[in-house]
Chain A
Amino acid sequence: MSLDDHAPSIGVLANPAAGRDIRRLVAQASVFPIAEKRNMITRLFSSLGMLGVGTVYMMSDGNGIADRIRHALETPPPSDQIWPKVVFLDMPIEDRAVDTLVAAEKMVAHGVGGIIVLGGDGTHRLVASRAGDVPITALSTGTNNVFPAMREASIAGLAAGLVATGQVPVGDCAVRNKVLRVDVNGVESDLALVDLCTSTELWIGSRALWRAEGLDQLFLSFAEADAIGLSSIGGLIRPVTRAAEGGLWLNLADPASAPIIVTAPLAPGLMIDIGVEAVQDLRPGEAISLRAERGVVALDGEREIEFSQTDKLAVRLEWDGPLTLDISKVMTYAAEHELLHRVNAN
Chain B
Amino acid sequence: MPLSKDELLKAYRMMKTIREFEERLHVEFATGEIPGFVHLYAGEEASATGFCMHLDDRDKIASNHRGHGHSIGKGCDVDAMMAEIYGRGNGLCGGKGGSMHIADLSKGMMGANGIVGGGSPLACGAALAAKQLGTGGVAISFFGDGASNQGTSMESLNLASVWNLPCIFVVENNGYAEATSSKYSVACDDAADRASAFNMPGVVVDGHDFFAVYEAAGEAVKRAREGKGPTLIECKLNRYYGHFEGDAQTYRGKDEVKNLRATIDCLDRFRAKVTSADLLSEAELDVIDGEVAALIDGSVEKAKAAPMPAPAELLTDVYISY
Contacts and interface: CB of A to CB of B under 8 A. Distances in A.
Tell me, yes or no, whether A and B come into direct contact in the complex with CB atoms closer than 8 A: yes
A25 interface: yes
Contacts of B209: 204-205
B216 A34 contact: no
A25 B212 CA distance: 13
B56 to A, nearest CB: 21
B192 A206 contact: no
How many of chain B's residues touch chain A, expressed as a range?
20 to 34
A207 interface: yes
Contacts of A64: 183, 189
B188 to A, nearest CB: 6
> What's the dominant secondary structure at chain A's contact region?
loop
Interface string A58-95: 00001111010000000000000000000000000001
Contacts, number: 85
Contacts of B233: 25
A238 interface: no
A31 B196 contact: yes
B223 interface: yes
Contact of A205 (B195, B202, B212): B212
B193 interface: yes
A203 B202 contact: no
A64 B188 CA distance: 8
A308 interface: yes
A34 B197 CA distance: 13
A24 to B, nearest CB: 5
Contact of B2 (A19, A24, A26, A201): A201
A206 B208 CA distance: 11
Interface string A10-26: 00000011011110111
Contact of A25 (B189, B190, B201, B273): B201
A310 to B, nearest CB: 9
A258 interface: no
Contacts of B277: 202, 294, 306, 308
Interface residues of A, number: 30
A33 B231 contact: no
A7 interface: no
Given A35-B188, A63-B189, A306 B273 contact: yes
A344 interface: no
A346 interface: no
Interface string B105-117: 0000000000000
Interface in B150-201: 183, 188-190, 192-193, 195-196, 201
Interface in B209-224: 209, 211-212, 214-216, 219-220, 223
A21 B220 CA distance: 13
B204 A21 contact: yes
Of residues B203, B219, B220, which shows the largest number of chain A Cβ atoms within 10 Å of its Cβ?
B203
A237 to B, nearest CB: 29
Given A21-B203, A202-B277, A67 B183 contact: yes
A25 B220 contact: yes
A322 B273 CA distance: 33
Given A24-B192, A206-B205, 14 more contacts: A19-B192, A20-B234, A22-B216, A24-B202, A24-B203, A25-B220, A25-B223, A31-B193, A34-B188, A34-B190, A65-B189, A203-B212, A203-B215, A204-B209
The 10 closest A-B pairs by CB, nearest first: A64-B189, A203-B211, A20-B204, A31-B196, A205-B215, A25-B201, A20-B192, A206-B215, A205-B211, A24-B201
12 contacts: A17-B190, A31-B192, A33-B188, A33-B193, A34-B188, A34-B189, A63-B189, A67-B183, A203-B273, A204-B212, A205-B214, A306-B276
